[in-house]
């Protein structure tokens, strides 16, 4: 009869558990307001239209650059660490979900005790059994903790995507800088050859009394300046190549070839609302506010009463020889509530609310900064485009001047020094055009980075997480150590 009563209690308890697990508090109470975040542009009328390029660096048509970007995304130590952290955050979710399950423990013990009196007696006691316990998630604390872990995992993935976004921008920037340094070096070498010819001409004029020693000294100083510039460019090339090699984790030396490319049509920019989806940092800022919201639920649940159910099966006896002759069972429910804790838990609730409000303001500020960053990048892009147009026009005029001076020289109406001066001006204009082209390319990179990414970032993150899992499995199998030693 007692067994039947206990079984009925167990069934009743099992029936109310699903209802109790629904909880009285929601893991997200206020974070829904974040979806109504207003996204307003500052300038309004400068947004470009068109489809945004996903793998934008491929539009420059440099196969070696594309291959190096692929290598860096696979081998970068920065990204490898980010993907391992992502894997660790996935495992932390499993730990957070443990609150959904009951705890099963094995216990065994032996003791000796009795009654303290004039006719005192003592007896041994032995026990062996299993205990099942479960704390009912009355207030949604377990679900809130799981939500915090899930949001943290998503934030770690956003951080990995942000790192990949910055990494690609750095690779392309350094790649273009190397091409720029080489192109500029070629122009300086041309200018040096012209200056050397002009220096010889000035020396001849000095010997014949057609110029003074000051002109000779000035021309010699210009030669030394050009030679020093060439050394500086060689140093910059070596430093930038080493920076690229570091980005790949030392796996490959960049084989940069060709000249600095022409700027491309950027293809348009995302709508302001789309930035909330394409910018990993904005997603992280929003999730931080959502986590702070869930922490309010956790703080509230800590202040409210808790209910724990337990069931056990055990053998208990005063004699070890008779231990397995009687199987005992127990069902219990315990209810506890904090009456006074020095205002610790109530203060924790207010602090959690303050954190949420702070994170919400931070999210709003991050959105405004992101919009401003994109719009400023567009403004700078338009400015660089105009500067390149002006530099190209100046270069064309210098080419015309050079051609006219050559014709006058051929006809005997102009001194050769004027031809050399026109040639130097033309090369100087070529340097200005080259610099304007580089600044325009860097402005495009800044715009692409400010717009974030979509498909390629997600694919890179998935592939990186897969490699991190494979590395973990190798470590489990002992292959990681053997591979490194070999």
At 128-143, the pLDDT tens digits run 888 888 888 888 888 8
The total number of structural domains that make up the chain: 1
**Domain range holding 244?**
2-111+123-453
Least confident of 63-77, 232-246, 324-338, 365-379: 324-338
pLDDT of residue 48: 55
Residue 400 pLDDT more than 60? yes
Residue 262 pLDDT more than 60? yes
Residue 45 pLDDT more than 60? no
Q: Residue 178 domain-assigned?
A: yes
Q: Residue 482 domain-assigned?
A: no
Q: What's the pTM?
A: 0.80
Percentage of the chain lying above the pLDDT 90 cut: 28
Under DSSP, the state recorded for 54 is S
Which CATH number does the domain housing residue 346 bear?
1.20.1600.10
What is the rounded average pLDDT of the residues 145-174?
Answer: 91
Distance CA 426, CA 395 (A): 6
Strands (E), 46-153: 103-115, 121-136
What is the rounded average pLDDT of the residues 167-183?
Answer: 96
Confidence of residue 16 (pLDDT cuts 50, 70, 90): very low
Distance CA 315, CA 131 (A): 12
Residue 335 pLDDT more than 70? yes
Confidence of residue 5 (pLDDT cuts 50, 70, 90): very low
pLDDT of residue 269: 64
pLDDT of residue 15: 43
Mean pLDDT over the full length of the chain: 82
The residue assigned the tokens 């005997």 is 412
Q: Residue 466 domain-assigned?
A: no
Q: Residue 147 domain-assigned?
A: yes
Q: Residue 475 domain-assigned?
A: no
pLDDT of residue 184: 94
Angle at 250 between CA 244 and CA 256, to 5 degrees: 40
Looking at mean pLDDT, say which of 26-30, 248-252, 354-358 comes out highest: 354-358
- Residue 43: Cβ within 10 Å count: 12
Q: Residue 323 domain-assigned?
A: yes
Q: Residue 235 domain-assigned?
A: yes
Helix (H, G, I), strand (E, B) or coil at 81: helix
Which helix (H) or strand (E) is 213 found in, with range? helix 213-247
pLDDT of residue 37: 62
What is the rounded average pLDDT of the residues 289-307?
Answer: 88
Under DSSP, the state recorded for 251 is S
Residue in 9, 171, 175, 10 with CA at minimum distance from that of residue 76:
171
Helix (H, G, I), strand (E, B) or coil at 358: helix
Q: What is the pLDDT of residues 203-225, one digit of tens each?
A: 877 787 766 778 778 778 888 98
pLDDT of residue 484: 46
Distance CA 111, CA 238 (A): 77
Q: Residue 465 domain-assigned?
A: no
Report the length, in residues, of the chain: 486
Structure tokens at 289: 């506010």
pLDDT of residue 485: 45
Residue 119 pLDDT more than 80? no
């Amino acid at each position: 009869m007692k067994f039947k009563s206990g079984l009925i209690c167990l069934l009743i308890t099992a029936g109310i558990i699903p209802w109790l697990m629904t909880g009285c508090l929601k893991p997200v109470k206020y974070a829904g307001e974040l979806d109504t975040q207003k996204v307003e542009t500052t300038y309004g009328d400068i947004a470009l239209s068109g489809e945004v390029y996903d793998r934008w660096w491929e539009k420059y048509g440099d196969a070696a650059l594309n291959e190096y970007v692929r290598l860096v995304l696979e081998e970068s130590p920065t990204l490898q660490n980010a993907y391992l952290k992502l894997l660790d955050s996935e495992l932390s979710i499993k730990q957070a979900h443990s609150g959904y399950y009951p705890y099963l423990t094995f216990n065994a013990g032996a003791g000796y005790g009795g009654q303290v009196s004039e006719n005192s007696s003592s007896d041994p006691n032995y026990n062996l059994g299993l205990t099942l316990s479960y704390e009912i998630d009355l207030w949604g604390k377990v679900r809130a903790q799981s939500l915090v872990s899930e949001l943290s995992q998503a934030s770690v993935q956003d951080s990995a995507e942000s790192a990949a976004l910055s990494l690609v921008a750095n690779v392309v920037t350094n790649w273009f800088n190397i091409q720029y340094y080489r192109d500029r070096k070629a122009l300086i070498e041309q200018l040096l050859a012209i200056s050397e010819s002009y220096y010889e001409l000035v020396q001849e004029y000095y010997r014949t009394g057609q110029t003074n020693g000051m002109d000779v000294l000035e021309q010699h100083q210009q030669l030394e300046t050009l030679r020093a510039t060439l050394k500086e460019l060689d140093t910059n090339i070596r430093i930038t190549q080493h920076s690229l090699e570091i980005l790949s984790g030392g796996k490959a030396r960049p084989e940069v070839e060709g000249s600095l490319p022409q700027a491309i049509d950027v293809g348009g920019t995302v709508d302001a609302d789309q930035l909330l989806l394409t910018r990993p940092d904005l997603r992280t800022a929003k999730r931080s506010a959502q986590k702070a919201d869930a922490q309010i639920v956790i703080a509230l649940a800590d202040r409210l009463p808790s209910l724990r159910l337990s069931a056990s099966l055990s053998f208990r006896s005063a004699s070890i020889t008779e231990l397995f002759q009687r199987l005992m069972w127990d069902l219990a429910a315990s209810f506890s509530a904090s009456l006074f804790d020095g205002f610790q838990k109530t203060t924790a609730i207010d602090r959690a609310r303050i954190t949420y409000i702070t994170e919400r303001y931070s999210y709003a500020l991050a959105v405004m900064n992101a919009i401003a960053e994109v719009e400023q990048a567009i403004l700078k892009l338009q400015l660089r485009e105009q500067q390149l147009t002006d530099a190209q026009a100046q270069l064309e005029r210098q080419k015309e001047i050079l051609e006219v001076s050559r014709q006058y020289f051929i006809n005997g109406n102009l001194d050769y020094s004027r031809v050399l001066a026109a040639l130097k001006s033309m090369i100087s204009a070529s340097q200005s055009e080259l610099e304007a082209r580089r600044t325009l390319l860097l402005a495009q990179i800044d715009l692409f980075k400010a717009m974030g990414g979509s498909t390629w970032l997600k694919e890179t993150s998935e592939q990186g997480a897969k490699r991190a899992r494979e590395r973990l499995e190798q470590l489990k199998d002992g292959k990681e150590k053997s591979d490194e030693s070999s």
